[in-house]
Amino acid sequence: MVIGVLDSAIFADMFGTPAMRGIFGDEAFLDRCVEVEAALARAQGRLGIIPAEAGEAITRAVSELANGRRTLDLTRLKKETETVGYPILPLVRQLAEWAGDYGRYIHWGATTQDIMDTAVVLQIRAGLRLIEDDLAAVRGYLAELALRYRDTPMAGRTHLQHALPVTFGYKVAVWLSALDRHADRLRELRPRVLLVQFGGAAGTLASLGAGRECLETRAALAGELELGDPPITWHVTRDGIAETVQVLALLLGSLGKIAFDVMLMSATEFGEAAEPFVAGRGSSSTMPQKRNPISCELILAAAKVLRQQAGLVLDALVTDFERATGPWHVEWVAVPEAFGYAAGALRQARFVLGGLIVDSDRMAQNLGMTHGLIVAEAVMMGLAPHTGRNEAHDLVYDACRRAIETDRPLLEVLRETPAVAGPLGAEKLEALTDPANYLGAAPAMVDRMLAGR
């Protein structure tokens, strides 16, 4: 029986992806733990800390697991893990049996958290690659949309009301700007997060003595796994893990903003954009006309859930002394789920943005629905040099009220207002009330966002 949508037979591929499950599933986690144990044995064999033959024998035993000639007894592993509280000792026992006499050298000088932490770092590295690939695809779609609709006017809205004209390309470029920063964050966190953990019982590596063997072993293990070698053990300072999940939460927050915008734009009253059409997708069980924004809803839900995992890993930062009494365990829940939801949301975003339906005619229709009120600021700023800003504001404000009350275009009312029409003239007044003439630097900012891509 499965609890939770990421492993659900029904919902798993709506909220997650098979590829990310393949990285953070039980089998993958155990594989990474075994990988770390074998790398440790090779490193120590090469350094002469254990017999070189032991490192080779342990690596051979592990390779038999990797190529399918051996399998772990998961029933035994589960039972022993429930007794011990952690899976590493039960795992080491089985590996030691496979390595024969050399099995005594497995896990030499290590402790459980060394292996589990380093295994999780390997999972994070693989998970980040998937996240970055999907994010690059989403950013590519946004760049294409921003370029295509660079000059397509639409109503900009504040507090859900018409504010000023923008372009759809500008709106998309704003979305893109956040995702570009998240790509930077993902790249920048790697050297802080992708670090080997090897410290022994209290982090001091005392089990290997006080000589060069301690730090050389850690450096060699890092080299075997192609991870960074930290200057000091980090098993009770979890900021690297926490940072990773915070960045994923930030990323999904930005995807949630995009999804929310698209959902609103797809409302019947707006009709400016819609998810790609797939027959039957988003259908209602009772209303045949409905086409619900399913992917956007899933992205928004994932963003909300991942925010909770971000809070959990912040709790895990507060550890006690040289080995935590429980905060570490919340990462076992939070980290795999964070990557799972992030992958699922990015998959949905690729679907939405890769085939987004944009109705520029409806955008133009909505832009004109207030008959020029959306460019009242343009008229005010055009009039201000003649009357002063405050006087211009009051004149245009009064004209807007009359236009609303009489349901007439703002231009028509302004033409009947001598204090406005006189200083500006008919031609200038007509230009000021054309939304396409009041886009500011929106197209230029799109160009700046797309420069160098």
Give the residue numbers annotated as catalytic, written as ranges. Answer: 159, 284
- CA dihedral 325→328→332→338, nearest 10 degrees, is 150
Assess contact for 207 and 200: CB atoms under 8 A. yes
- For residue 7, with 0-12 CB atoms within 10 Å meaning exposed, 13-18 middle and 19 or more buried, which class applies? middle
- Cα separation, 168 vs 156, in Å, equals 9
Pairing of strands 357-358, 153-158: unpaired
The number of residues making up the chain comes to: 453
3-state SS of 160-176 is CEEEEEEEHHHHHHHHH
| Residue 137: Cβ within 10 Å count | 16
Distance of alpha carbon 213 from the chain centroid: 40
- Cα separation, 96 vs 288, in Å, equals 62
**Taking Cα atoms as reference points, which of 426, 341, 292, 336 lies closest to residue 13?**
341
- Cα separation, 343 vs 349, in Å, equals 10
Assess contact for 23 and 122: CB atoms under 8 A. no
Assess contact for 338 and 124: CB atoms under 8 A. no
Place of tokens 């993902």: 186
Distance of alpha carbon 278 from the chain centroid: 25
Assess contact for 146 and 446: CB atoms under 8 A. yes
Phi then psi for residue 154, to 5 deg, are -155, 170
- Cα separation, 136 vs 152, in Å, equals 25
**Taking Cα atoms as reference points, which of 446, 145, 143, 130 lies closest to residue 276?**
145
Reading the block at residue 287, the tokens are 């209303």
